[in-house]
Structure 1
Amino acid sequence: MEESPIRHYASAQSYLLPADSLETARLNLQHCIITKAFEDRLALAPVHLKPNDRVLESGAGTGIWALEFSAFGAQNNSLLDIECIDISDKQFPLKYPTNIHFSIQSVTNLPVEWKNSFSYVHQRLLVTAMNDSRWNQTINQLFDVLAPGGWVELVEVESANLGYGVGPYSKRLVSLITSLYKAKGVIGNLGVYLPNLLEKVGFVDIHCESRRVPIHRSHNNDGLNRSKQYYDLWMGIKAPVLAGGGYGIVENETEYDQLLQGCLNEWDESNVATTTYYTIVARKP
């Protein structure tokens, strides 16, 4: 049997997913899937940006969103000053425009000199890095760095009511994920949790949109392999699962690999396996 690649984890304690070339490919595919789900829109916030306005992308990963958002702004004669942060630089692009800046930062502790300086903040899929305490720190930090009237946009995935347990393998995976998230303090119902937290911190004009996305090899013949993206997602979380003893579902790496292969087969044969993405926008008064 082919040996599994050694994965690099930036922070095994606070983030469950790796930061390496395999994860880079998955994140770029995930970006396409999410953007397609929201009608090819990179941003839903009703923000009107002017040249040189500052934009913050939190959890930038590969930087693909910032690169596309910058290009869109340039096409509309609006060169934006985009700051991209992540807890690891392993996936930052090697080449990028001079108006985009990448740095290692945690969104739970942003530089004090950034206070009131950003017109727009975009953050995507930090669910596996967060518990209640870190979410509170994050939303307070984002409120502080936004300029008055600025918008925050949070893109997250439903992680409480999982819609992809459609057969014996994937139902076991759902049980495993539920146990893993409980052990790590991951907040699942973000479509409800985040709007409430945003209001508590002081944001206004809070709006949440959701999209249910089929998990299938190719939905609508658009060439985006959604089932493989989900397979790669949970393959990336194999190390934390095994470190947690398999949560009563698997006992070793071989069993985990077999479980995920069974899930992939079930998803490709299913017309009902889905996941739900949320985009939540809010304005700082």
Structure 2
Amino acid sequence: MEQTVKREYVSSNYLLPADNAETERLNLQHCILKKAFGDELALAPITLHSHDLVLESGAGTGIWAQEFSAFHSQNNVLLNIECIDISDKQFPREYPSNIHFSIHSVTDLPQEWKNSFSYIHQRLLVGALNDSRWNIAIDQLHDVLKPGAWIELVEVEAKGLGYGVGPNSKRLASLITSLHTSKGIITDLEVYLPKLLARKGFTDIHCEGRDIPIRESVDNDGLNRSKQWHDLWMGVKTPVLTGGGFGIVGSEEEFDKLLEGCLKEWNESDKAYTTYYAIVARKPI
């Protein structure tokens, strides 16, 4: 069935689209995550200096990099930030001159970057990497990180344990589980990544989680969490339908109706939540 609104996807390896609607969702997601982690843009115990190189992998809209740069500029620290993604479709049109955007995959970083970065930040590549690609990505990130420097990987618990609070959202959780299985998605990165980082030679590994409620707003902060969560899953409609609906939905109309029901359940429940993790590790000197 032809979709009413055609979404734009840039890679068969990544489940989500790269278009204006996704840009808006990513920026809202950034605000929600930032508040959940106490308004901190980084949990790694870093001390950066002017002209240090910082890498943001999977930069998307670049909102994290711009805020991270501005925060350090207030303290008279001018960083050089390299933002990479597999597509430039969501890169901002205007940004400070100390931030550079380029098209690169985390599984294939330039060799000239070896031992260059004083800090690496990567966020929410759960929908892009399977086991083999995660192994390659961590090898690549290890290579470009300076000895003694820190890496921070922010990921989400993907088993659907917290957002299935009613018949519709439980069906959605089952649907997303089937989609993840079909793509080889790792759903327990909070367990998987610390072990992988240790095998790759990283030390001082720490994982810190935050449970984020999915109701529309918390403390009237204006952050529509349930809309962000609804729009996230709306973004996987094409891969779901391409995969045949996994025995749960058979058409675009059924998918849309399922998400409408989920949105209602999330806004009526104080039990619906999702968990995000910040995983930090250091490359030995």
TM-score of Structure 1 vs Structure 2, range by shorter chain: over 0.9
SS in 2 for 1:29: helix
Counterparts of 1:74 and 1:191, CA distance in 2: 32
**1:140-179 counterparts in 2 under 5 A?**
140-179=139-178
Q: RMSD between aligned alpha carbons? A: 0.7
When normalised by structure 2's length, the TM-score is: 0.98
**1:1-285 counterparts in 2 under 5 A?**
4-11=4-11, 13-285=12-284
Runs of 4+ in 1 over 3 A off after TM superposition: none
Q: Which amino acid aligns with 2:105?
A: S
Counterparts of 2:17 and 2:237, CA distance in 1: 10
**What CA deviation, in whole Å up to 9, does each residue of 1:81-110 have, x standing for no partner?**
000000000000000010000000000010
Counterparts of 2:224 and 2:176, CA distance in 1: 22
Counterparts of 1:7 and 1:165, CA distance in 2: 26
Q: Which amino acid aligns with 1:184?
A: K
Query: Post-superposition shift, 1:215?
Result: 0.3
The alignment covers a number of residue pairs equal to 282
Counterparts of 2:41 and 2:168, CA distance in 1: 34
Counterparts of 2:241 and 2:57, CA distance in 1: 29
Counterparts of 1:85 and 1:76, CA distance in 2: 25
Q: Which amino acid aligns with 2:135?
A: N
SS in 2 for 1:171: helix
Query: Post-superposition shift, 1:224?
Result: 0.5
When normalised by structure 1's length, the TM-score is: 0.98
Counterparts of 1:76 and 1:249, CA distance in 2: 52
Q: Which amino acid aligns with 1:259?
A: L
Counterparts of 2:154 and 2:19, CA distance in 1: 22
Residues 154 and 279 of structure 2 are in contact (CA less than 8 Å); yes or no, is this contact kept in structure 1?
Answer: yes
Counterparts of 2:220 and 2:111, CA distance in 1: 47
SS in 2 for 1:205: strand
Query: Post-superposition shift, 1:6?
Result: 1.2
SS in 2 for 1:277: strand
Counterparts of 1:4 and 1:210, CA distance in 2: 37
Q: Which amino acid aligns with 2:232?
A: L
Residues 160 and 173 of structure 2 are in contact (CA less than 8 Å); yes or no, is this contact kept in structure 1?
Answer: no
Q: Which amino acid aligns with 1:21?
A: N
Query: Post-superposition shift, 1:221?
Result: 1.4
Q: Which amino acid aligns with 1:164?
A: Y
Counterparts of 2:89 and 2:269, CA distance in 1: 35
Counterparts of 1:4 and 1:165, CA distance in 2: 27
Q: Which amino acid aligns with 2:66?
A: L
Query: Post-superposition shift, 1:140?
Result: 0.6
Counterparts of 2:14 and 2:69, CA distance in 1: 27
Q: Which runs of 5+ in 2 are unaligned?
A: none
Query: Post-superposition shift, 1:161?
Result: 4.7
Counterparts of 2:168 and 2:92, CA distance in 1: 36
Give the % identical residues: 70
Q: Which amino acid aligns with 1:8?
A: E
